[in-house]
Chains A and B, each alone.
Chain A
């Protein structure tokens, strides 16, 4: 057996002995059980906790007063791009009183999003523990919003009807939020959609006069 083999064996034995005598008692006390994968999965296993980009888009366009969009990414990312009207709540500030008050506003649907599911999962699980209701996750997060609304792509002629219908809504949303010109109306391209673009219902701006 070569010298290298013997050195490797000595290192492996030393590491194995190190593992045997590893004191995990201190560490296990520090481990926050709320971040284990199993607990995260349990909290978000309910599909009704997810709202699609289309559902959220409709509610924003309709000026639905019962929805709050919460961007969980760091402040610099939030400032560079976010959903219209979203409030920034970086995951680090979750334990602050103001954050909990925001999440606990009664009668409002809080829609969480980030650029992955980890932060929304953690916040949702936190809300479960605090018994905070009406908290949802935006399906696909900000990346899905970007691909469906901002970088909208025209469906092919052979695309299913549902996709064409969704495209109409998304095109409307794109114009509504970002003012992108409709290619069909500018004559650049004939979209030949099977259905006319649905009218987007927007709330008339009435002065708040109290009452219901």
Chain B
């Protein structure tokens, strides 16, 4: 059996939503069990007293990347068939700024706000409400943003292609950067006064 399973018809396409639901439940469970339903934990990244968010997401990214590279090499997966989100440069920058501002103000990102809401946290519920209001406002004013939203599309480009680097070198550098981040953030955590929450 070779992955990706659905594009290569190892599993019928109709299972897409079922698998998405199961993965979503697993993702939510991991977020909650990592303590991400607490906005104080998330804010720890900005104040330097808790870098769990950074560690979990960086670990997830390099684990997935390493897995794909090795699976592709072993012939267990055809990585060229994986879907890659198209890169809209302006949308990515603007969206990143807005998301970052919301993240630092509210202490949640969309996924963690659902986790917070699911366990009945009022800030999580309000954040989720704000999220839906934002989606509604964007949809209603789509005509205003359409130009910038769809501009400067670089397609399914990858970072190492854009900077002219070999994919293997980039992957190795990213792993080394993750290790440096782990060590560095642990050092910062020791230096910054602990916050109990």
Contact = CB atoms under 8 A, between A and B. Distances in A.
Contact of B80 (A19, A37, A143): A37
Contact of B12 (A1, A5, A16, A116): A116
Contact of B179 (A12, A22, A24, A116): A12
B66 to A, nearest CB: 5
B6 A12 contact: no
Given A37-B80, A38-B156, A143-B14, A15 B66 contact: yes
Given A12-B179, A16-B171, A20-B168, A36 B9 contact: no
Nearest to B72: A27
Interface residues of A, number: 26
Contact of A19 (B69, B82, B156, B182): B69
Contacts of A119: 9
B129 interface: no
A24 B175 CA distance: 19
A37 B176 contact: no
Q: Is the interface of B mostly helix, strand, loop or mixed?
A: helix
A136 B178 CA distance: 48
A19 B83 CA distance: 22
Contacts of A31: 80
A165 interface: no
B83 A37 contact: yes
Given A9-B179, A19-B168, A37-B156, A116 B9 contact: yes
A198 to B, nearest CB: 31
A212 interface: no
A16 B7 contact: no
B9 A5 contact: no
Contacts of B73: 22, 24, 27
A112 to B, nearest CB: 13
B52 interface: no
Given A22-B73, A27-B73, A36-B80, A115 B176 contact: no
A102 interface: no
A109 to B, nearest CB: 24
Contacts of B70: 15, 18-19
B13 A5 contact: no
Interface in A16-38: 16-20, 22, 24, 27, 31, 35-38
B9 A115 contact: yes
A115 B69 contact: no
B78 A35 contact: yes
Nearest to B59: A8
Interface string B1-33: 000001111001110000000000000000000
B64 to A, nearest CB: 13
A118 B172 contact: no
Candidate in B69, B168, B169 with the most chain A CB atoms within 10 angstroms:
B168
A152 interface: no
A27 B71 CA distance: 12
B80 A1 contact: no
Contacts of A1: 183, 186
Given A9-B182, A36-B81, 7 more contacts: A13-B179, A19-B69, A20-B172, A22-B69, A22-B168, A37-B83, A119-B9
18 contacts: A1-B183, A1-B186, A12-B175, A12-B178, A13-B175, A15-B66, A16-B175, A19-B168, A19-B175, A27-B72, A35-B78, A36-B80, A37-B80, A115-B12, A115-B14, A116-B12, A118-B7, A118-B9
